[in-house]
Structure formats: C-alpha cells, structure tokens
Amino acid sequence: MVNEVDIPTFAAFRADGATVVDVREPDEYLTGHVPGARLIPLGELTRRAAEVPRHRRVYVICATGNRSLQAARWSASAGYDAVSVAGGTKAWADSGQPLVVGEREDAA
C-alpha cells in the first residue's frame, strides 16, 4: 500500500525541506509547480531513478494525484520511501500555496 498525504501535511514537510518530485510533463510543470520540485516525468522515472534520493522520504506530485500514485507505487516497489500528494498541484494551488511559473527548479 502506498502512502498518500493531504496538502496541509505535505506543506508542513515541504516547509521543513522535504524532497519533492513532480512527475508531470515539462509543459505542465512550467505552467506552475511547487517551489523546489524536481521535474522527472512519469515516463522517465525508471530511467532516471538514480536522481531520486534513497536516504530520505520523497513526496511525489502530479496534476491531480493519479500519476503520482503510480510513481509512488513503482518507487516503493523499487525500495524508495515515496509518498503521493493527494490532489496534486491543483489541490496545492487551490489551497493558496505558492507556485513557481515558467522556470525549471532543476535546471543547471
């Protein structure tokens, strides 16, 4: 069973420096994402798994929570401590939380 957290719980962990992985597509990410979220689209997750830390919990987010559940399930089966954010970026924005628009947090 994959864990899922609500927006207030996620916001508290994020404020404490939690690792956040956004599994949406790049165009979705650029329209608005959680500050500090690293973009790894769902279709690239298995290939880019080494970019996800194994030593700490990872919060996975997408648009509404469906892709993040898939990503968290796969991540958990691969030995990661992954949690899906219920409601995704839409719920995050709807709750009045900040969004970053138009830039890649993980760009070098």
Give how far Cα 84 sits from Cα of 7, 12, 21, Å. Answer: 10, 15, 10
Whether 20 is catalytic = no
**CA 54, CA 66: separation in Å to the nearest integer?**
22
Among residues 7, 61, 62, 82, the one annotated as catalytic is 62
Q: Quick check: 62 and 74 in contact, CB under 8 A? A: no
**AA identity, residue 106:** D
User: Catalytic residue numbers?
Assistant: 62
